[in-house]
Amino acid sequence: MSKVLSLSSKGNLLKIEDLKETKGYIWYFMTEEVMKYVSSIGLTEGDIIEFKSEEIRGEDTIIYIKKQGGTVAEFKCIKCGKALKDGKYKTCYNCSMEAKEKEQSSPDNQHKQDSIEKQCALKASAKAVALVFQGRLTTPDELATAIGIVYDQIVKKFNS
């Protein structure tokens, strides 16, 4: 249990008593979800809280908070509403993974993939033509097969 000493004017920092510190307190950052909870219950100076912090981007940040005698901080996934164990992330694991997958199959990424494939095709053709000049390939069929093999190898290299 810890005592809240003050809340910054912007509402993004919480000064919490810590007698292990020589100055007697620590200023903590809060995740957006924790900030929402803190303002929704009107947390103020002198309140006793339970909290968990973690270093996020080099700053001590509160990821979970509960006011003594108050309601439990409820952290929910903003997409599906599933309860989260703390306020570190806005979405649950499943929704985060889904968002990632969507991003990967977005037109932008698709376009990138297409242009990589075009580059591969060009490189494969150039390599095959070089083989023809070296006299190692003679028929169009051999040439096509060689392009296919080289193309596969290059695509593999790009995607590895």
Q: Which stretch binds Zn ion (CB under 5 A): 5-13, 24-32, 89-97, 147-155?
A: 89-97
- The Cα–Cα gap between 146 and 129 comes to 9
Q: How far is the CB of 78 from Zn ion (least distance, A)?
A: 8
Work out which of 48, 77, 132, 155 binds Zn ion, going by CB under 5 A. 77
Among 72, 80, 122, 130, contact with Zn ion (rule: CB under 5 A): 80
Q: Whole-angstrom Cα distance, residue 94 to residue 71?
A: 27
SS3 labels along the chain: CEEEEEECCCCCEEEEECCCCCCCEEEEEECHHHHHHHHHHCCCCCCEEEEEEEEECCEEEEEEEEECCCCCCCEECCCCCCEECCCCCCCCHHHHHHHHHHHHCCHHHHHHHHHHHHHHHHHHHHHHHHHHHCCCCCCHHHHHHHHHHHHHHHHHHHHC
79 near Zn ion, rule: CB under 5 A: yes
Q: How far apart are CB 102 and Zn ion at their closest, in Å?
A: 14
Q: Does 76 bind Zn ion (CB under 5 A)?
A: no
Q: Does 95 bind Zn ion (CB under 5 A)?
A: yes
92 binds Zn ion (CB under 5 A): yes
96 touches Zn ion by CB under 5 A: no
# residues contacting Zn ion (CB under 5 A): 6
Minimum distance of Zn ion from residue 81's CB (angstroms): 7
Q: Which stretch binds Zn ion (CB under 5 A): 43-51, 64-72, 85-93, 109-117?
A: 85-93
Binding site residues, Zn ion, CB under 5 A? 77, 79-80, 82, 92, 95
